[in-house]
Every structure is written in C-alpha cells, then in structure tokens.
Amino acid sequence: MSSETRTEEPETADADADAESAGETQRQPHQERRLERKREQARQRDLTEEARLEVEEADETVSLKVFRYDPEVAGKQEPRFDTFRVPFERGMTVLDALIYARDHFDSSLTFRHSCQQAICGSDAFFVNGRQLLGCQTQISDLDEPIRIEPLPYYDVLKDLVVDLDDFYEEMRSMDPYLQPDDDPPGELAERRQSRQNREDIKMSTRCIWCASCMSSCSIYGQGEEYVGPAAINVAYRFAVDEREPAEVTAERIQRIDEEDGVWRCQTQFSCTEVCPKDIPLTQEIQDMKREAVKRNLKFW
Ligand code: FES
C-alpha cells in the first residue's frame, strides 16, 4: 500500500463517519417528529376517553351539530355536519362547548376566537339559524340540537372559518379613522368633544367588526354591490363626529350616497336584529339617507 493511499484511508473513514453522523442527525429530527406525533395521538386518545367518561357521568349534556368542511384534506371536501355531545355546565357558552369538542374529540375542528368577552368580534357563527357571537351566547338559551354553521354569504375556508377579505375591504373603503385638520392646541392637549356629540356617536363606536350584520343582509349577501351595514356604521360614526372638518364630513356623506351606498338598503332590519352590540344600524342608515338628501337639495 502506498504512503499516498495510507494517507487517504483515515480521510475516507472520516468522511464515512461524517456521512453516518449527518444521516444520524437527519434521522433524529424525523424520529423525534414521529415520536412527538405518537405522543400527541396518545394524549388525544386519553382526552377523548376522559371526555367520554365525563359525558357518561355528567348530569346534563348538550348536543352540537357542527358544520365541517376541509377543502385541503381528501375525504373531507364534502360539507357535512358532525355531532358532538359535551357535558353541560351552568354558564356555558357556545364557544365553551366548541372548545370542549375541539380539545377532547377532534383537534382538527377549526373556528376563530380570541377575547371570549364579546370584544374582538372573531367568533360570530350562524347558530340555530341566527348570527350570534359564540362567547356571548348561553347554551341554556338555545334549543337542542344546537346547529352551528359558518356565517352565511361568505366563502368557507375551513369548518367555521370564513373568508372575510370582502368585509375588511368594505370597512377600509370608509377610512375608519378620525381625520382632523389640525393638531390639538398645545403640547399634550386633548382633542375635546362635547358630551352631546359623544353621546350621539356612542352606539356606533361599539362596533366590533364581527360581520354579523353584513352576513344577515340579503342585499349585501346577494352580491348587489352594496357596502353593507357595518361599513355605513363606520361612515356614520365619523360623519357625526364633530372633531372632523366639514370637508371630510362632506366626503364621507358623498361616499355613502354613491350607487353602492345607503340607497341599496331596503330597511329589512335584519342587521339591527343580529347586532351583538345593539347598534341601531337601520336607524343610522336612514339618518345617513336623510343627510345625503339634505346635502343634495338645491334652492333656486
Ligand atoms: Fe372575541 Fe367572542 S371571542 S368576541
């Protein structure tokens, strides 16, 4: 064996060792992931078993029929309803029941939620045929089985999650922010508003962008080029606010006086009925119509 070959031997051995250790390193995360998946499946089985016993022993249970649809998973692309039976507790909301079902029976059940205090507006569903906030709706107020569906008129992305791009676009088209023409006088000075003016916009400021009103409106839902009640509420909230200059107010009124604005409303009151914050939306739309007419009147 030549000295040259001898000097190569350890290098080949090192390379083999390196390759082996690289393969080992690659295998490790893979094995780790498999183990983790197995641990998770075992945990899920335990939770389901625990829940099954809880349901058996519970004094009262509640039955949920939940809309399911997952366009990305083979075999689940057909819309269907799954039934979950969960133990009932006093004070339980629709969102609590959904969370229980997801955490104990099917971790793939998908829905939005966040604050659980009727503030973020993310958990509006179509419950027993009506737009309701999951976290604000008591199970005890509903008839069984409780049927939970995604908001109507919006495309379903998965289970109870809908595509709200159009909703946000309409809301943004109303410039949903205060546009004063100057800074308040003096450093750290407040921008004052009269008590009466604050009172006038009070209800409109309660909007939590849950899209319930939009999803209840057949004019908006049938693609009639209508900005919808929530967007008009934004226009109202700022048009009435005395801290904006007259030109900005005029622009806001003009915006909702367009073809897709207030004149599309047929005073069905469905938006007002479903608003979880009791905003008098139909009334606001009528007020905006009156304001638009007043501004268009000409005297010769
Ligand atoms: Fe925020 Fe219901 S979870 S409004």
d(C-alpha 228, C-alpha 264), whole Å: 9
CB 121 within 8 Å of CB 209? yes
Tokens of 117: 């205090």
Q: Higher pLDDT residue, 72 or 172?
A: 172
Cis peptide before 176 (omega within 30 of 0): no
Domain co-membership, 97 together with 138: yes
135 pocket-lining for ligand 1 (C-beta < 6 Å): yes
In this structure, is residue 229 part of a structural domain?
Answer: yes
For the Cβ of 121 lying below 6 angstroms from any atom of ligand 1, the answer is: yes
Output the pTM of the full model: 0.83
One domain, residues 285 and 176: yes
How many domains are contained in the chain?
2
Start-to-end C-alpha separation, the chain: 115
Torsions phi, psi for 68 (to 5 deg): -130, 140
Phi-psi region of 91 (alpha: psi -120 to 50; beta: other; left: phi over 0): left
Instruction: Mark whether 259 and 201 lie in a shared domain.
Output: yes
Q: Is residue 154 part of a domain?
A: yes
Ligand 1 centroid distance, CA of 169 (Å): 21
Q: Residue 266: exposed, middle, or buried by beta-carbon count in 10 A (0-12, 13-18, 19+)? A: exposed
**How remote is the CA of residue 114 from the centroid of ligand 1, in Å?**
5
Whether the pLDDT of residue 85 is over 60: the answer is yes
Q: Do 110 and 169 belong together in one domain?
A: no
Which secondary-structure segment (H or E) carries 21?
helix 3-57
**Same-domain status, 171 and 231:** yes
Both 135 and 177 in a single domain? Answer: no
Contacts 24+ apart (CB under 8 A), 109-115: 109/66, 109/68, 109/82, 109/159, 110/70, 110/158, 110/159, 110/160, 110/161, 111/159, 111/160, 111/161, 112/160, 112/161
Average pLDDT, the chain: 89
* 230 in any annotated domain: yes
Q: Helix 246-256 and helix 229-239: axis angle, to 10°?
A: 160
Report the CATH number that the domain containing residue 144 is assigned in CATH: 3.10.20.30
CATH number of the structural domain spanning residue 290: 1.10.1060.10
Altogether, the residues listed in the chain come to a count of 300
How far, in Å, is the centroid of ligand 1 from the Cα of 133? 7
Is 102 inside a domain boundary?
yes
Which residues constitute the domain of residue 261?
Answer: 164-182+194-296
3-class DSSP state for residue 166? helix
Say if residue 172 is in the same domain as residue 215: yes
By the 10 Å C-beta count (0-12 exposed, 13-18 middle, 19+ buried), 227 is classed as buried
Query: By mean pLDDT, which of 146-160, 178-192, 210-224, 231-245 is the weakest?
Result: 178-192
Residue 108 lies in a domain: yes
Nearest ligand 1 atom to alpha carbon 136: 2
Q: What is the DSSP letter of 139?
A: G
Tell me which of 114, 131, 212 to substitute to probe ligand 1's pocket, judged by most ligand atoms within 8 Å of the beta carbon.
114
Lowest mean pLDDT among 36-40, 47-51, 260-264: 47-51
Q: Which atom of ligand 1 is nearest to the CA of 121?
A: 4
Q: Are 109 and 97 in contact (CB under 8 A)?
A: no
* Residue 16: inside a domain: no
User: How far apart are the C-alpha atoms of 239 and 258, rounded to whole Å?
Assistant: 15
> What SS3 class is residue 138?
strand
Does residue 150 line the site of ligand 1, with CB under 6 A?
no
Q: How confident is the model at residue 191 (pLDDT cuts 50, 70, 90)?
A: confident
**Both tokens of residue 11?**
């290098």
In the reported structure, the alpha carbon of residue 212 is separated from the centroid of ligand 1 by a whole-number distance in angstroms of 12
Pairwise pLDDT comparison (46 vs 235), residue with the higher score? 235
Determine if ligand 1 sits within 6 Å of the CB of residue 122: yes
Q: Kindly state the average pLDDT of the residues 194-204.
A: 97
CA 116 to ligand 1: nearest atom: 3
Does one domain contain both 264 and 210?
Answer: yes
Q: What is the pLDDT of residues 86-111, one digit of tens each?
A: 999 999 999 999 999 999 999 999 99
| 171 and 151 part of one domain | no
User: Ligand 1 centre and the CA of 174: distance in Å?
Assistant: 24
Instruction: Report whether residue 205 contacts ligand 1, using a CB cutoff of 6 Å.
Output: no
Answer whether 112 contacts ligand 1 (Cβ < 6 A): no
Residue scoring higher pLDDT (283 or 28): 283
Nearest CA to ligand 1 atom 3: 116
User: pLDDT of 241-291, one tens digit each?
Assistant: 999 999 999 999 999 999 999 999 999 999 999 999 999 999 999 999 999
Q: What is the pLDDT of residues 68-81, one digit of tens each?
A: 999 888 878 899 99
> Same domain, yes or no, for 132 and 168?
no
Q: Same domain, yes or no, for 157 and 171?
A: no
